[in-house]
Structure 1
Amino acid sequence: MNRPQTFAPASLQDALDAAGGPISLLRSSQLGTTIFPGIPPEFTNWRDEQRAWKHSVAMLEQSYHMTEVHVRGADALAFMAGLMTNRADNFDVMRAKQIVMCGPDGRMISDAVLFREEPDFMRVVGPPTAANWVEFNATKTDLNVTVTRDENFIRPRERRDVFRFQLQGPNALALMQEVTEGTLPEIKFFHMGAFKIAGRDVRAVRHGMASTPGFELYGDWDDQAAVREAVERVGEKYDLRKAGSVTYGTAAQESGWMPRPLPAIYEGDTMAEYRRWIPAQSFEAAGSLGGSFVSDRIDDYYVEPYEVGYGTLVNLNHDFIGRDALVEKKQNQKRRKMTLIWNNDDVFRVLQNSLRNDGPRTKFISLPVPMYSSFQADQVLAGGKPAGVSNWMSYSSNAGAILSTALMDLEHCEIGKEVTLLWGEPDSRRRTVEAHDVAEIRATIAPVPYYAKTNKTEG
């Protein structure tokens, strides 16, 4: 008996062709919001876990969900300089940078954190969109570099190269000083230091993730049990709270960081080779696009470095992919990143209507993370007309409201102005989204970050 042949796409481009284009592929994906593997949703409760980074100290786990790429070789710095918008000539050993990477059109592919541990060794730590772009470009370069990948725990395995977690909050420094038993050096912002905890070698980057100063610690995978035990034991004195996976997904909101924008790779000849290189099993191919902002043009969902607040991370005095396009975009910025404070009365109304069984329902709002897709894009209106797009959202116990990070048209960036967010997904093709009516939620424009930062940015 002859059976029909089934088509198994090998690459992202194959998946796009089979689906009929990027909008169709992403809008029909059944993948929901981000999963943070390896830890429980809550260690205590997400409300107090959130409050810890504002009032005491929070321990934020990073060992499992982020992808690492290790770049080695005499030309490691030159190779990364050609990919990142950031200044490279001041990137000394034992420093880190939040890097931004763009396509030739100047639109973002990903950001990540780059650690320079040795003259010829760097770690790229971040989402798979960053790892894939670095890996692909390593296959095309003539520079003296080798790239290896340390995959995340979405597919569980025995170990990784290093464990990694953050300590954030007003008590973080005091906790670090005590648990390191006098070995903690003075570490400047986004510099690295080496010291010992429980007799084990540990390194840390000094930065802030939740609008408060903190440390990102890492060390050999086999040393983590001893290090964690020491930190948690001393941390009891400082009201340490371990943040579960649900809480972790909200940590960026108050500081205004926009995690994981839709990578600008899905159309155009300049990215065709990359789309053929990325496997069909990749995050870029499996990810879902959701929300009330509906367009048949995939580039309407892309973002640019200047509009998401990365202007200080763009240095035009060196050559990198996308540089020429960014020269023009710097002079023609059309949107700005702002915080939206959702109206609690409207949120409660939508929640109530989402649970009814006697008439049309609204889309359920899951707390603390309302997002229900990999890439969220909700329409924002001012006076009934399009004014921006809301991309990332979560409830903040510190703010007492849902906050979302939105890209607003420049004429609609007035602090205190009331706008309307459309909540829901019209004509959804995804089984993960229940039947519902789109609802209006009032929101007030606020600054980014929502709370004043206590750290600074370096390019």
Structure 2
Amino acid sequence: MSAPTNFVSLADAIRQAGDPLTMLRTSATGPFAFPRVPREVRNWRDEQEAWHSSCALIDMSYHQTDLFLRGSGVLDLLRQVGVNRFADFPVGSAKQLVCAAPSGLHVTDGIVMRLEEDLYRLVGAQPVSNWVQYHAESGGWDVEVQRDENSMFRLDDRRFYALQVQGPTAPALMAEVVDGDMPEIGFFRIGEVTIGGAAVRALRHGMAGQAGFELSGPWADFERVRDALVEAGPNHGLVQVGGVVMYNLPIESGWYPFPLPAIYTGDGTKGYREWLPVMTMEGMGSLGGSYEVENIEDYYVDAVEIGYGKLIDPHRSFNGSEYLHEALKSPRRKKVTLEFDVDDVMAVHRASLFEEPPAKYLDYPYAGYSTFPADSVRRDGRQIGLSHWTGFSVHTRKVLSLALVEIEHSAPGTEVTVLWGEPGSRRPTVENHVVREIRATVAPAPYYSKIIAKG
């Protein structure tokens, strides 16, 4: 991807389609796929329950892209592309790097780790590496870039693996499997440990209200580390997780995995569109769901409303800082969880299978059928928000959706309606159907805060 030649860019693809909405609304690509990971290892119900009740082992090695940044200019680069506070970023720590377009609207985010004084590892879905690499190469920074592409876009092995252990028994599992004593590792700090004789970096984090560690190291050590975890796993209820439930963790955790990047319009991102190959997530992805408008910018979101307001530095300049500093004072929408009405869910199931015309099929455990889903959320017949990621939570026996709604409709207990389906779909992967209404109730996001409150 560095210095591309003889390629079709995202800008070329938009010109060929006529406009970005047509390109995305006619794409045959479905939901983001997790390459080289089986759909289920045991079964998706036990796999999903494991991160609540015992410990889930999640293989993150294949779907993430790693970008290694080295040089004296890396921190200045990050300060320009990231909205974060960087006054405190010591070696051995990590941050959720949040990136905005010059307009201030959200582009992407990922985890950036400071491994050495001038060496950083950025990991996440492909767009965050694309965005940061573009700025590293076009901005004249003293930065050397090395890319370890995800397995959707390569045939050989990765340079590095990533394994996540997540759940209430994860700390006990780590204490058993680590050679010697398990060190104390603070939240979003990186500890150096040894597992099965292999040196491992352990990033301490947590999702869905439970403890977790992301383990990484050279690819040559992957099987040795994984096998050590699996061997010790029965003592801690370890369950290996397949790809089909990976979306449910963000839904319960209240984390937006990848909203539609705000890069398809505007002069501020024109150079990026010309640089970016179409054979990327941004170029190949699809936009689907019941929310249909003529302006693609109506699908864009900002960092404040999707929950990153506390990370934004209110005192310095960065890409989009003028917009975001104002958004901190007066956010337009709020991130919530929607609990779908059980009777309406069952009615949609029945209609999708046995009625004519059918309803849009509601799949489990993840119901999304496009890369960038966007369903209309209404109250009293008026458009008030967007439902983005929908799936079934085994732990609560509910269909949940991660959504954005206008502030005045965001109180827990508020009753809303989700339009389920894609009217007049132009995508061959979507079956003929009619849009159905599903009643829903607003709940907190992250949703696990509600689970904890219930005991």
| TM interval, short-chain normalised | over 0.9
- Residue 232 of structure 2 corresponds to 234
Residue 103 of structure 2: which of 74, 97, 105 is its match? 105
Note the C-alpha offset of 1:157.
2.5
Which residue number in structure 2 is paired with residue 174 of structure 1?
172
Within the alignment, does 1:38 sit opposite 2:36 as a pair? Answer: yes
Query: 1:4 corresponds to which residue?
Result: none
Question: 1:156 & 1:45 partners in 2: Cα distance?
Answer: 28
**Distance in 2 (alpha carbons) for counterparts of 1:283 and 1:170:** 33
Q: Which amino acid aligns with 1:329?
A: A
Q: Which amino acid aligns with 1:272?
A: K
Q: Which amino acid aligns with 1:199?
A: G
Please show how residues 75-114 of structure 1 align to structure 2 within 5 Å: 75-114=73-112
3-state DSSP of counterpart to 1:266: coil
Q: Aligned partners of 1:454 and 1:272: how far apart in 2?
A: 44
SS in 1 for 2:369: coil
- Tell me how far apart the structure 2 counterparts of residues 162 and 136 of structure 1 sit (CA, whole Å): 22
How far off is 1:225 after superposition? 1.3
Equivalent pair of 2:24/2:286 in contact (CA under 8 Å):
yes
Give distance in 1, aligned partners of 2:308 and 2:22. 30
Q: Distance in 1 between matches of 2:64 and 2:166?
A: 18
Which consecutive unaligned segments of at least 5 residues does structure 2 have?
1-5
- Which residue does 1:398 correspond to in 2? 395
Q: Is the 8 A contact 2:148 2:159 kept in 1?
A: yes
Cα deviation 1:198-220 (Å, max 9, x = unaligned): 11101111001232111111111
Tell me how far apart the structure 1 counterparts of residues 116 and 293 of structure 2 sit (CA, whole Å). 46
Corresponding position: 1:366 with 2:363? yes
Correspondent of 2:301 among 286, 300, 303: 303
Q: Residue in 1 aligned with 2:3? A: none
Rounded to whole Å, the distance in 2 between the matches of 1:220 and 1:153 is: 16
> How far 1:142 moved relative to its partner?
2.5
Amino acid in the other structure paired with 1:421: V
Aligned length: 447
Contact 2:336 2:410 in 1 (8 A): yes
- Contact 2:360 2:433 survives alignment (8 Å): yes
Structure 1 distance, partners of 2:185, 2:199, is 16
CA distance in 1, matches of 2:287, 2:251: 20
- Of residues 328, 331, 349, the one that matches 2:329 is 331
1:421 aligns with 2:418: yes
For residues 248-267 of structure 1, the aligned pairs below 5 Å read 248-267=246-265
Do structure 1's residue 407 and structure 2's residue 404 form an aligned pair?
yes
How far did 1:9 drift? 7.3
CA drift of 1:313 comes to: 1.0
The structural deviation recorded for 1:181 is 3.5
Distance 1:156 1:106 in 2: 33
% same residue: 44
Deviation at 1:143, TM superposition (A): 2.3
Q: Amino acid of the residue matched to residue 423 of structure 1?
A: W
Q: What is residue 443 of structure 1 aligned with on the other side?
A: 440
> What is the CA–CA distance in structure 2 between the aligned matches of 1:155 and 1:267, rounded to whole Å?
26
Structure 1 residue 355: Cα displacement? 1.1
Task: Report the secondary structure of 1:185's partner residue.
Answer: coil
Take 2:451 and 2:255, find their aligned partners in 1: how far apart are those partners? 14
Equivalent residue letter for 1:178: E
Matches within 5 A, 1:270-309: 270-309=268-307
Separation of aligned partners in 2, 1:232 and 1:454:
29
**What CA deviation, in whole Å up to 9, does each residue of 1:176-209 have, x standing for no partner?**
0011143321000000000111111011110012
Matches within 5 A, 1:187-206: 187-206=185-204
Equivalent position SS for 2:448: coil
Residue-by-residue CA offset, 1:133-184 (whole Å, 9 max, x unaligned):
1111011222211112110001342321211011111100001001114332
Structure with higher helix content: 2
**What residue is the counterpart of 1:378 in the other structure?**
375
2:216 to 215, 218, 229: 218
The CA distance in 2 between the partners of 1:15 and 1:38, in whole Å, is: 28
Query: Once the two structures are superposed, what CA deviation does each residue of 1:36-73 show, in whole Å capped at 9, x if it has no partner?
Result: 01111111110011110000000111000001111111
CA RMSD after TM alignment? 1.5
Partner of 1:3: none
Q: Deviations over 1:59-93 (max 9, x none)?
A: 11100000111111122112112111111120010
Which AA in structure 2 matches 1:191? R
Q: Distance in 1 between matches of 2:209 and 2:28?
A: 33
Q: Deviations over 1:398-444 (max 9, x none)?
A: 11111111100111112112111000001100010001000011111
Give the corresponding residue for 2:18. Answer: 20
Say if 2:208 and 2:448, in contact at 8 Å, map to a contact too. Answer: no
Q: Which runs of 4+ in 1 moved over 6 A?
A: none
User: Separation in 1 of the partners of 2:121 and 2:222?
Assistant: 19
> Which amino acid letter does the alignment assign opposite residue 40 of structure 1?
P
Once the 2 structures are TM-superposed, how far is the Cα of residue 323 of structure 1 from its aligned partner? Answer: 1.1
| Secondary structure of 2:294's aligned partner | coil
The 1:54–1:287 alpha-carbon spacing in structure 2 relative to 1, beyond 3 Å, is same
Give secondary structure in 1 for the equivalent of 2:360: coil
**What one-letter code is carried by the residue in structure 2 that aligns with 1:11?**
S
Is the CA contact 1:211–1:453 (under 8 Å) kept in the aligned structure 2? Answer: no
In the alignment, the residues of structure 1 paired with residue 450 and residue 66 of structure 2 have an alpha-carbon distance, to the nearest angstrom, of 27
The answer on whether the counterparts of 1:391 and 1:404 sit within 8 Å (CA) in structure 2 is yes
Rounded to whole Å, the distance in 1 between the matches of 2:323 and 2:346 is: 44
Query: How far off its partner does 1:453 sit?
Result: 9.0
SS for the counterpart of 1:237 is helix
Kept in 2, the 8 Å contact 1:255–1:453? The answer is no
CA distance in 1, matches of 2:327, 2:412: 24
Please say if residues 13 and 276 of structure 1, whose CA atoms lie closer than 8 Å, have aligned partners that are also in contact. yes
Q: Which runs of 5+ in 1 are unaligned?
A: 1-7
- Does residue 317 (structure 1) correspond to residue 315 (structure 2)? The answer is yes
- Which residue in 2 is equivalent to 1:387? 384
Residues 454 and 364 from structure 1, CA distance in 2 versus in 1: closer, same or farther, beyond 3 angstroms? closer
How far is the alpha carbon of 1:347 from its aligned partner?
1.1
Which deviations, in whole Å up to 9, do the C-alpha atoms of 1:318-370 show, x marking residues without a partner? 332111221222223110000001112211111111112x5210000110010
